[in-house]
Structure 1
Amino acid sequence: MEFGLGQLVEVLLLLGFLGARNGGGRDISVELLADGACRVTFDHWPWPAGSRESALSSLERWLSFEGIDWSTPPPLGLPRGVISLPPYVELGLVNALAPRLDVIAWEGAHHWRRCYREGLAEPESSRSLMDAPSPRHAEQGLCITFTPDASIFEPGSRMRSQHILERVQILSAMLPGVTWRLRDALVGRESCFRRTRGLADLCDELVDSRGLLSPPWSFEGQVGSTQVGLALQWGAFEGAGVRSWANIHRCYEGGTHHQGFHQGLRKALRSRMKARGSSQEAWAFPEEALVAHLTAVLSLGLSEPVWKGPTRAQLANPELKEGVAQLVATWVEAALAQDSQVEARVLALSGAPSNALRP
């Protein structure tokens, strides 16, 4: 039950993410209320729209599933939602599973409200509200409050605060400069994330700060239609390994992009060994040593992701292996060449014998 409630919140989180990614906003707030309801507030219109009127019209349609063509695939590149539709369409799911849903939208002095009960709009619920919430004095925005249906979800069930907190932490790393807030009224906990370095900040947080060789190296690039972001660093102590996301969904079991990452990393290390005059050009850099002291965060944006297995947690796009390998090899080799001392330590930690690293 808690997982299902979390998925409803996920719809709204993805809605805010897409809007902020398109430059529409800088502040997203989630509140878990004491009565079990959830309120999500955006300081922007979290979907593409040319004007306030067209946005409100779209909002009404998505909340009621009006005019939705279920046979139409979602636009390419969007993260999957609860049932693989774009999150702004899945607003209708949230509405249908909430006996009470309140929506407030505003732009400047104009405020608009619509109340829904069991998925149906109350006839006289659209009116001007002068006391509607406007987060951080935003000129325009949207606030959605929903109460889970007790006939579907076990009475007293609440969204898992820790799960939502972890999700907000990840989403904030994917959108540098955007503020994400989470408040749990029942336990009195408030959290706020605003990362200026994106993935590099997340990479720093995943590993013990003692003994790090350098601040995380951060890269962005593209191979074909796939966007690739990477942050990585080595340390004297055990690293967190390689963690990855595809269209902001966690890849728990790796996949072709992990294979490409390892391939590109080995290529870069071997190239630097050769540049240092080593007579052995094909050091194996065994898997255990390669990642033992490494912490890496890899994010991919694909137009057509292929997922393997029932959990859809392993990426299976065959073209990603070589593309990611090429980018990683180029990035890491250039970074290592900038600092010979860091390079020597990285090579040693990755499995190169000490006699091969002598000047």
Structure 2
Amino acid sequence: MAEPTPDQYSARHLSVLDGLEAVRKRPGMYIGSTDSRGLMHCLWEIIDNSVDEALSGHGDRIAVTLDADGSVTVEDAGRGIPIDIEPKTGLTGVEVVFTKLHAGGKFGASNYGTAGGLHGVGASVVNALSERLDVEVTRGGKVYAMSFHRGEPGVFDDGEGQPRPDAPFAPFTEGSELRVVGKAPRGRAGTRVRYWADPQIFIKGASFQPDELAARARQTAFLVPGLEMVIRDARDVSAEPIDQSYRYDGGIAEFAEFLAPDAPTTDVWRIEGEGDYTETIPVLDDEGRMVSREVQRTATVDLALRWGVGYDTTVRSFVNIIATPKGGTHHAGFEQGLLKFVRAEVERNARKLKVGANEKLEKDDVLAGLTAVVTVRIPEPQFEGQTKEVLGTPPVRAIVSSVITNGLKERFASTKRQDKAEASMLLEKVVSEMKARISARAHKETQRRKTALESSSLPTKLVDCRSNDVEHSELFIVEGDSALGTAKPARNSEFQALLPIRGKILNVQKASVSDMLSNAECASIIQVVGAGSGRSFDLGAARYGKIILMSDADVDGAHIRTLLLTLFFRYMRPMLEAGRVYAAVPPLHRVEIVRRGAKKNEMVYTYSEAELDGLLKRLARQNASYKEPIQRYKGLGEMDEDQLWSTTMDPAARLLRRVSVTHAADAERVFDLLMGTDVAPRKEFLFESSKSIAPEFIDV
């Protein structure tokens, strides 16, 4: 059929999507995507409904189960979805909640003072995108049930077997029925939702993410003190289900302590407050017409913040316990009030802190090392989109800014010795961050590389390359002068540079920023890389395309490599994230195979004991001989220049191990465990792991 011309284009060519049909046609509009992220968003919608009940004081336990058949079950101990008839639609409350968009009990303040599910589309969207959804409501001593197939209510014929999404389904024709399927003890109430995501909607690889689910459950338990979140992963039928339970009574102060990645400079500061504002909203009058009214609102603000010795910033913001990862007016108000107050305090103590007239704090100076949890609770917040990642309610910005300013004023005016000491340490920290930023910027401007002749201000021990092509240049950080002596004639001086370090550098996971900068080896590495450090690090200014850590293949070499990686992870992390840091893999053995006749003997290098054993067994089967003793390299200095070039430095033949940061949070915990200041967990880890290490592999 021919396409209609502009003159023929009329109203009959328009499509009107009604009810849940619109959700199935454009799911991305409601859940963001149809991959694992969208699948998890559906789960959050159901969980958040149960959490809203707990926030309102109804129920203290929520259980989530991932089943082997692909379904997920969310069960709470709240009041239960209303089962009586809703007068406007003539449907039960259960059917209204699961089949009507923009319907629910959260549009007014009578049922929920504050809630996360405010658009009234969460449960109905999940129902529309599910191949099957079963809901059970316990109220008034009875258990009521209703089932849906892709949003349509009806009855599944499961026979004697377990519920399954492909069971025969009969939709209701004349009227819907909310079945009574059992009795319940007096006083028990709650809602149980089980659903199977629709494979027609979600892509084939979409799956529930148990780690993400556990993190969200833990987060919710922190934000709602006294609420128990239980997660059960029963997807593997061949193994016992994995149960995890979270409950915290310390609230967001305990949450901030949990999130903190470094040792503390201050304790966790708890700041609370509230503010009133007026909002014009559309409401339904008694005749069902939409009218505008001005209502008085109250925003409750609860903050927990602490500064640590590091420079990483972790700020988590929430509205009615719904995470807002992209911020919003509450996050902006928090940063605005914090920066304004700290700036004023630094100016007031400028002489004591030795701050010049032209030195001014920036936001990053104040946020360095900060771990904060920002929560606000307001009725009917304005989110930008159904995914609720950004708060848009304008008056909240000024309220949060005022609350944090007043709270910090009270903290800094305290006469308690500990409060005064922590306030003083905080000011010293932000001023040192400011001075480090200014110094790093000036240093970076003078260290931009144009030609090899401009490297005179770089460390004298740097053996630079001739090429100005950053993408194809390489910097080898080598262990000791002996390795440098071999590597210098072995390298290709056109694009390979060398920087020797003396032994084991400073463990920067334990040290302060000033200690790191005053350490000669750490300062030399940062200076040679040429892109700054910490917050001021500029990946585009790096002088080399690859950084290759070349250390001996022994325990000391591994330790040096770990210390170097710690430096890069803490202060030059974008290099790791960009995949520009490598570890050289030098051989452990050299086997000289004897060739009969005029043939030249063959040199074979092996990189592990297992590889050497395999080579020797193969030679034995071939009746080939080799020279004894087999050379075992204890260090790079034992190789001559030809051997080092062919095994470790030649791009055509070498073996490199790229170091990447795929899971930054996990890497942070591992670095802190192995290299941090807390000894007890590291000692416990070593004792537990010692059983898996064979004594013969320990180089002593």
Q: TM-score range by the shorter chain?
A: 0.7 to 0.9
Instruction: Report the Cα distance in structure 1 between the residues aligned to 2:47 and 2:134, rounded to whole angstroms.
Output: 17
* SS in structure 1 at match of 2:181: coil
For 1:123-162, what aligned pairs fall within 5 Å after superposition?
Answer: 126-129=179-182, 139-154=188-203, 157-162=206-211
Cα 1:150–1:300 change in 2 (3 A) is same
Q: Which residue pairs with 2:324 in the alignment?
A: 251
Aligned partners of 2:271 and 2:304 also within 8 Å = yes
244, 248, 253: which one aligns with 1:200: 253
Instruction: Report the Cα distance in structure 2 between the residues aligned to 1:281 and 1:16, rounded to whole angstroms.
Output: 54
231, 242, 246: which one aligns with 2:304: 231
- Count of residues in correspondence between the two structures: 339
1:303-334: CA deviations, max 9, x gaps?
46556699874445554443322211111222
Cα 1:97–1:69 change in 2 (3 A) is closer
Instruction: Report the Cα distance in structure 2 between the residues aligned to 1:31 and 1:352, rounded to whole angstroms.
Output: 49
* SS in structure 2 at match of 1:165: helix
1:232-256: CA deviations, max 9, x gaps?
0111233433232234444334444
* SS in structure 2 at match of 1:127: strand
Instruction: Measure how far apart 1:145 and its partner are.
Output: 0.8
Q: Which residue pairs with 2:265 in the alignment?
A: 213
Q: Which residue pairs with 1:180 in the alignment?
A: 229
* SS in structure 1 at match of 2:303: strand
Instruction: Measure how far apart 1:158 and its partner are.
Output: 2.6
Instruction: Measure how far apart 1:212 and its partner are.
Output: 1.2
Q: Which residue pairs with 1:62 in the alignment?
A: 97
Q: Which amino acid aligns with 2:50?
A: G
Cα 1:323–1:242 change in 2 (3 A) is same
Q: Which residue pairs with 1:39 in the alignment?
A: 73
* SS in structure 1 at match of 2:226: coil
Cα 1:101–1:255 change in 2 (3 A) is closer
Task: Note if 1:6 corresponds to 2:40.
Answer: yes
Cα 1:194–1:80 change in 2 (3 A) is closer
Instruction: Measure how far apart 1:40 and its partner are.
Output: 0.4
Instruction: Report the Cα distance in structure 2 between the residues aligned to 1:53 and 1:304, rounded to whole angstroms.
Output: 25
1:186-217: CA deviations, max 9, x gaps?
25433222121222122111113x53134412
Q: Which amino acid aligns with 2:207?
A: R
Q: Which residue pairs with 2:375 in the alignment?
A: 299
388, 393, 406: which one aligns with 1:330: 406
Aligned partners of 1:260 and 1:322 also within 8 Å = yes
For 1:243-322, what aligned pairs fall within 5 Å after superposition?
Answer: 243-269=316-342, 272=345, 284-303=360-379, 305=381, 313-322=389-398
1:250-286: CA deviations, max 9, x gaps?
4334444344323322444356558879578997333
Instruction: Measure how far apart 1:155 and its partner are.
Output: 5.3
Q: Which residue pairs with 2:154 in the alignment?
A: 121
Instruction: Report the Cα distance in structure 1 between the residues aligned to 2:382 and 2:119, rounded to whole angstroms.
Output: 16
Q: Which residue pairs with 1:347 in the alignment?
A: 427
Cα 1:120–1:93 change in 2 (3 A) is same
Q: Which residue pairs with 1:95 in the alignment?
A: 127
Instruction: Measure how far apart 1:298 and its partner are.
Output: 0.8
Task: Using structure 1 for the length normalisation, give the TM-score.
Answer: 0.78
* SS in structure 2 at match of 1:238: coil
1:135-175: CA deviations, max 9, x gaps?
xx982222111112223234574322233233323322321
Task: Using structure 2 for the length normalisation, give the TM-score.
Answer: 0.43
Q: Which amino acid aligns with 1:290?
A: V
Q: Which amino acid aligns with 2:255?
A: L
Cα 1:299–1:154 change in 2 (3 A) is same
1:28-80: CA deviations, max 9, x gaps?
11111111101000012256x6xx75799412322233xx677xx94488666
Aligned partners of 1:43 and 1:141 also within 8 Å = yes
Q: Which amino acid aligns with 2:126?
A: V
Instruction: Report the Cα distance in structure 2 between the residues aligned to 1:53 and 1:314, rounded to whole angstroms.
Output: 35
Instruction: Report the Cα distance in structure 2 between the residues aligned to 1:108 and 1:322, rounded to whole angstroms.
Output: 45
Cα 1:180–1:80 change in 2 (3 A) is closer
Aligned partners of 2:141 and 2:187 also within 8 Å = no
Q: Which amino acid aligns with 1:350?
A: V
Q: Which amino acid aligns with 1:58?
A: G
Q: Which residue pairs with 1:357 in the alignment?
A: none
Instruction: Report the Cα distance in structure 2 between the residues aligned to 1:290 and 1:69, rounded to whole angstroms.
Output: 42
Cα 1:284–1:34 change in 2 (3 A) is same
Give structure 1 stretches of 5+ with no counterpart. Answer: 355-359
- Of all paired residues, the percent bearing the same amino acid is 25
Cα 1:42–1:267 change in 2 (3 A) is same
Cα 1:204–1:8 change in 2 (3 A) is same
Q: Which amino acid aligns with 1:182?
A: I
Instruction: Report the Cα distance in structure 1 between the residues aligned to 2:130 and 2:385, rounded to whole angstroms.
Output: 31
Q: Which residue pairs with 1:170 in the alignment?
A: 219
**Root mean square deviation of aligned Cα:** 3.8
Cα 1:156–1:276 change in 2 (3 A) is closer
* SS in structure 2 at match of 1:45: coil
